[in-house]
Structure 1
Amino acid sequence: MKGLRWWIIGLVMIGVALNYLSRSSLSVAMPTLSKQLGISTQQYSYVVAAFQAAYTVMQPIAGYVLDMLGTKIGFAIFALAWSLANALHGFASGWLSLAFFRGLLGLTEASVIPAGLKVVSEWFPDKERSIATGWFNAGTAIGAMIAPPLVVWCILHSSWQMAFVVTGGLGFVWVAIWLFAYRTPRDHVRLEPSERQYIVDGQSNTDIEKASWKHILSSRKFWGIAIPRFLADPAWATFNFWIPLYLSTVRHMSLKEIAMFAWLPFLAADLGSIVGGYLSPLFMKWFNVSLISSRKLVVTTGAILMFGPACIGLATDAHTAVYLFCVGGFAHQALSGALITLASDVFGKNEVATASGLTGTAAWLGSISFSLIIGAVATTIGYNPLFVCLALFDVLGAIVLWTVLSSTETTPTAQPVLQS
């Protein structure tokens, strides 16, 4: 099967999309739930924090499990679990039960980025990793983009409970396809020998005996990625969990208007994921920089573009605000993809999921902190100062990345592939 690695990453992208469809369903349904279940903005921030706390704690554990069990079985187990946890949201009767189910979802969904990055490390040569990561990372925005029209349709034609059953049920279908289709390049019978050799020859990272948290956490390269991710991820959490509520409470959009417009920032985020993936090899060609430096340039470009959403407070109408959210979605996903890919650039195959999980924990520590701040102060000082902070965080993250992570850093025993 020609170009099989791209079919594989397409399957991963669909899995990521369904993962983010599940996590984004609540924010779309929230205007309805807040009325029917009497959930306040402060209580909603606790529900969001339950998901984020569970996700934060579980990411390195999920990454370690994936490194131990292997990508195929590990990813399938987690996907089954998050699909079930999402469907259980339909049984919520108040903010406490909703927070409990949300915590279960966070525990199970924490596997998705480490799993995707592990697939990239297995199936792609170094020079294509940012492109592959960009494509599977586009699934994060696809899921968030599908959520508004699908969830609103379910609410209008049935109930908010049915919205969670439908979005959760789609995951079971994906797991069946995944178990049937996925193998490593070494074992996949449909992989052409020439493509297998192309993948192997283009990979500089090597296996180690097993993943070691101590080895990862004690390395400078880990902190060079983890700190920028801590500073960058509050933006994505804000877009995922707060855009529908912001459009409803501040811009006074109706549920139907939210369904029409709230998905647009995630379409822009899709483009950011894909374009950001291609920017890295283009920067290597145009500026003759190293692989790591090309990733840094992508992060810097995204950080500058984040000043778009910082200006949302100046928007005179809801449609301009949505447009600036689109700029932010594009910018964040471009820089986020580069930061995620860096783990596969500087860590070996058998520790990449663990390293990705640990940097993801740092990212979500930033997310949960900022979500709690939004819940506490949004009704008093408004959202606008918070949007400005998101841009400043990303600029600071870019500075840390250039300062801490060496531009010549590579995985053990090899140099990065520098090819235009």
Structure 2
Amino acid sequence: MTPTGLSSQQTGSGATSERTTHLRWTVCAMLFCATSINYMDRQVLGILASTLQHSIGWTEAQYGYIISGFQVAYALGLVLAGRMVDKLGSRIGYAIIMGLWSAAAMAHALARTALGFGIARFFLGLGESGNFPAAIKTTAEWFPQSERSLATGIFNSGANVGAILAPAIIPWITIKFGWQAAFLTTGIFSLTWIAWWVTHYRKPADSPKISQSELHYIQSEPISVAATIPWKKLITYRQTWAFSIAKFLTDPIWWFYLYWLPKFFDSRFHLGLSHLGLPLIIVYNISAVGSVGGGWLPALLNRRGLTMPGARFTTMLFCACIITPIFFASRTHSEWMAIGLLSLAAAAHQGWSANLFTTASDMFPQRAVGTVVGIGGMAGSIGGVLFSLSAGWVLQLMHSYAPLFAVSASAYLVALLVLRTMAPGFRKIEDPL
């Protein structure tokens, strides 16, 4: 079997070549689309934050509370969603998840107060929390270890595409039809995706369209079919804590980019709603390159002689280092310099994130991946809550983004030190569980 999953020869009355399939990449495309929709839904509030702040009258601290409501629910939902996906499977679990977050996203159109937005945001967080546990579990089912970081990088880049599409269309919709219409826009995409997923998704062994050669390639790692693993067992492993602490330290930085970059550009460079789209589109376009590139780099380094754990660690170190110049983003008087620094940091974060997600499937058996990602995501959301509350008060009291960018610059190196100390070599645990 070759690494590209080339077809095998079948023998019978005569030798025939089996048709080669690459169905796993269609599954990856479905995950990419779901993640794009996920980030379009959550990005709408950040783009409209300054507009809504003026029309409804909330303070910086109240905005922090609204964002925190989302993240509290996201933290709770991640563990529950990870467990639900492990029990129900990706096909049914993912459809339920998408349906819940889509309804909550459209419910923002009914809000008229900061409290109303906080309630809608809370339920959006419950639904959206399931996207990454479901996607990472699906990737573990459909891809061998050598391809998982690339597949994760590809579907993870959907976050950037969603964040690009939102500033490209939301300001125009808001100006033409009002902010309520902006929150309703993505509903049609969500419903279409759910129908696509339920109709076409199956596990590799159950798919009628997959070739035997591709199935054998996907199953080059043994597949565990045992029962799901209890949380109380998983939290006894250092690998669980290492993954979770790394998420706690670095996930809040991406939340900060999503929800405060529009406000940063508006306050620092006085960009209105009609001019806000271009800087955000540039930042998230470049971050999409970082997501795919960060997922591809470990495979390249592995082919050049590094072990896969060594290649993963080297890639994460590179990403952590090139994030550090963001320290100067709030000090520059050049809009384009700020865009450049933020683009580099966002790209490096996405490369980091693709590899950090993949460490879960590197270190744990398939039947535990959804739950571990959920636990780590919960930790990341707790960090996001603390960061959002702090950001709101820092901006209200100090009127400066400098402390927030200083934390953003250093968090990844600290997280990598934790990973290196607690989970050296990303050693895979045995599966006696």
Do residues 139 (structure 1) and 158 (structure 2) align? Answer: yes
1:399 and 1:413 map into 2 onto residues whose CA distance is 26
Who is 1:417 aligned against?
Answer: none
Who is 2:29 aligned against?
Answer: 10
Query: SS of 1:313's equivalent?
Result: coil
Who is 1:77 aligned against?
Answer: 96
The 5 Å alignment of 1:70-219 reads 70-201=89-220, 203-204=221-222, 206-219=224-237
Shift of 1:208: 3.3
Aligned length: 412
Tell me if structure 2 keeps the 8 A contact 1:121–1:344. Answer: yes
| 2:175 alignment partner AA | L
| 2:372 alignment partner AA | A
Deviations 1:136-158 (A, max 9, x none): 11111111111112111110110
Shift of 1:408: 5.7
Tell me if structure 2 keeps the 8 A contact 1:208–1:348. Answer: no
2:258 and 2:142 map into 1 onto residues whose CA distance is 29
The 5 Å alignment of 1:221-300 reads 221-286=239-304, 288-300=305-317
Deviates more, 1:309-318 or 1:220-229: 309-318
Tell me if structure 2 keeps the 8 A contact 1:273–1:333. Answer: yes
Partner residue of 1:328 out of 314, 339, 345:
345
Deviations 1:42-64 (A, max 9, x none): 11111000001100111011000
| 1:267 alignment partner AA | N
Query: SS of 1:306's equivalent?
Result: helix
| 1:25 alignment partner AA | V
Who is 1:359 aligned against?
Answer: 376
| 1:195 alignment partner AA | E
Who is 2:404 aligned against?
Answer: 386
Query: SS of 1:209's equivalent?
Result: coil
Deviates more, 1:5-14 or 1:206-215: 206-215
Tell me if structure 2 keeps the 8 A contact 1:205–1:411. Answer: no
Tell me if structure 2 keeps the 8 A contact 1:113–1:356. Answer: yes
Tell me if structure 1 keeps the 8 A contact 2:157–2:288. Answer: yes
Q: Which runs of 5+ in 1 are unaligned?
A: 415-420
Runs (4 or more) in structure 1 with deviation over 4 Å come to none
| 2:158 alignment partner AA | G
TM-score by length of 1: 0.95
Shift of 1:229: 1.4
Do residues 49 (structure 1) and 68 (structure 2) align? Answer: yes
- Identity of matched residues, %: 31
Deviations 1:318-368 (A, max 9, x none): 221111110111110111111111111111111110110001111111111
Deviations 1:243-301 (A, max 9, x none): 00111122211111101221221112111110000111122223x33322222222111
1:136 and 1:38 map into 2 onto residues whose CA distance is 37
Deviations 1:357-398 (A, max 9, x none): 001111111111111111001233310121011121111111
Q: Which runs of 5+ in 2 are unaligned?
A: 1-19
Partner residue of 1:340 out of 347, 357, 373:
357
Tell me if structure 2 keeps the 8 A contact 1:290–1:408. Answer: no
Shift of 1:180: 1.1
Change (3 A) 1:192 1:411: farther
Tell me if structure 1 keeps the 8 A contact 2:365–2:431. Answer: no
